[in-house]
Amino acid sequence: MTDAHVLARMEQRLAQRHAAERRFHLLGLGAVVLSLSFLVLLLVIMLKNGLGGLDWQFLTASDSTDPASAGIWGAFKGSLWTMLVTLALSFPLGVLAAVYLEEFAPRNRWVDIVEVSINNLAAVPSIIFGLLGLAVFINTLHMPRSSPLVGGLTLALMTMPVIVIASRNAIKAVPPSIRDAALAIGASPVQTVFHHVVPLALPGIMTGTIIGMARALGETAPLLMIGMRAFIATPPDGVTAPASVLPMQIFLWSDEIDAGFVQNTSAAIIVLLVFLLAMNGLAIYLRNKFEVNW
């Protein structure tokens, strides 16, 4: 074989390899574009169907059998009460548990069990929390069915692990020198943690809390289990009144046969997505604004 021949074959092979490289690159780009186009498709369809239905009347009326006079105010108020209960429970419990596990817990078998169960709870399907809520809060403790109280309690159990995990990471990121300095000038361990470590970790804790609350706000399955799927024509005014929530209203309307409800469903989805985007945006803003690189 001549040298020129070998050289030609080498060049041919190199060209093949470069072509494969380009194909692979395009494949990756294609995957990203395809994934994002699903998102765009979803948003475009919802906007196309729902934007016409978004008016003042839709935002201030409650559920009705007539699609033209139905609105989301009742469901929105239900969501508000439910989120209030969820936040009031999961935030303090989550932060305190994180403080304990990260700062004070001894290394032993019990603490290992707590850690394992928190990590697993974060991955348990949400519908299982609904079964827990049904069996414990409604059938055992006889709390009022389809109320924001039970819904909020159920969602709080679901949100708490998310807050614990985020708070632990935020607390872990506070450098030990802060603790050493506080301890060195005579602060007790509890004072050190609550006067210095927790305030410094607060942006991270808030970010995690907002993300957890956003997830709870969009959750439907566990609330189906505890009966929050009733037709509610009057907005609830308390945590024990029967209520619906925004995602549940979307689910209920999606089942309606009347074509007018397609517009209502899409409009409610737009409202829900706006809220979720705002919450996630706030979380990202907080993280960027207050995050300290030690």
Partner 1 sequence: MIQLAILSALVALVLVGWFTARGKARLFARDGVTTWSRPEYHAAHLVLWILVPALVGWLAWSALVPSLVDAALAAWPVAQNLPASEFERASVLAEARALAANPDAGSFYPLAAELVAPIQQLNARYGLVGAVIVAILAFSGGAWGFSRLRADFPARTWVERAVMLLLLLASLVAILTTFGIIASLVYETGLFFGQVSPIDFLTGTHWSPGAAVGDDIGDSFGAVPLFWGTIYIGAVIAMIVAIPLGLMSAIYLTQYASARARRWIKPMLEILAGVPTVVYGYFAALTIAPFIRDLAASLGRDNPSTESALAAGLVMGVMIIPFVSSMADDSIAAVPSAMRDGSLAMGATQSETIKRVLIPAALPGIVAGVMLAVSRAIGETMIVVMAAGAAANLSADPLDSMTTVTFQIVQLLTGDQEFDSPKTLSAFALGLILFTVTLVLNIVALRVVRRFREAYD
| Residues 73-102, interacting with partner 1 (CB under 8 A) | 92-94, 96-97, 99-101
What phi and psi values does residue 147 have, to the nearest 5 degrees?
-100, 155
Stretch that binds partner 1, among 65-73, 169-177, 202-210, 249-257 (CB under 8 A): 249-257
Nearer to partner 1, 97 or 206 (CB): 97
Which amino acid would we find at residue 48?
K
Q: List, in order, residues 6 or more apart from 56 with CB less than 8 Å away.
A: none
Q: For the chain, what's the residue count?
A: 294
* Residue 277 engages partner 1 in binding (rule: CB under 8 A): yes
Closest CA relative to residue 170, chosen from 210, 194, 203, 209: 203
152 binds partner 1 (CB under 8 A): no
- The only residue of 12, 57, 139, 288 in contact with partner 1, by rule CB under 8 A: 139
The only residue of 61, 76, 149, 229 in contact with partner 1, by rule CB under 8 A: 229
Nearer to partner 1, 1 or 34 (CB): 34
Q: How far is the CB of 12 from partner 1 (least distance, A)?
A: 15
Q: Is 274 in the site for partner 1 (CB under 8 A)?
A: no
- Copy the structure tokens of residue 233: 């024509």
Residue with Cβ nearer partner 1 (61 or 210): 210
Q: Is 251 in the site for partner 1 (CB under 8 A)?
A: yes
Q: How far is it, in rounded angstroms, from Cα 94 to Cα 161? A: 7
Contact 156, 126 (CB under 8 A): no
Q: Which of 126, 178, 179, 200 binds partner 1 (CB under 8 A)?
A: 126
Identify the residue among 284, 285, 288, 290 touching partner 1 (CB under 8 A): 284
The beta-carbon contacts of 141-145 under 8 Å, at least 24 apart in sequence, are: 144/240, 144/242, 145/226, 145/227, 145/242
Structure-token pair, residue 144: 């009022």
CB contact set of 116 (below 8 Å; sequence gap of 6+): none
Four-residue CA torsion sign, 203, 205, 206, 207: positive
* DSSP SS3 for 230: coil
- E-state strands within the chain: none
Q: How far is the CB of 271 from partner 1 (least distance, A)?
A: 11
Choosing from 8, 13, 30, 195, the residue that interacts with partner 1 (CB under 8 A) is 30
Tell me the closest approach of the beta carbon of residue 42 to partner 1, in angstroms.
5
* Residue among 2, 4, 5, 35 that touches partner 1 (CB under 8 A): 35
Per CB under 8 A, 25 contacts partner 1: yes
Structure-token pair, residue 98: 């994180």
| Contact pattern for partner 1 over residues 163 through 202, marking x by CB under 8 A | -x-----------------------x-x---x--------
Count of residues of this chain found to bind partner 1 when the rule CB under 8 A is applied: 87
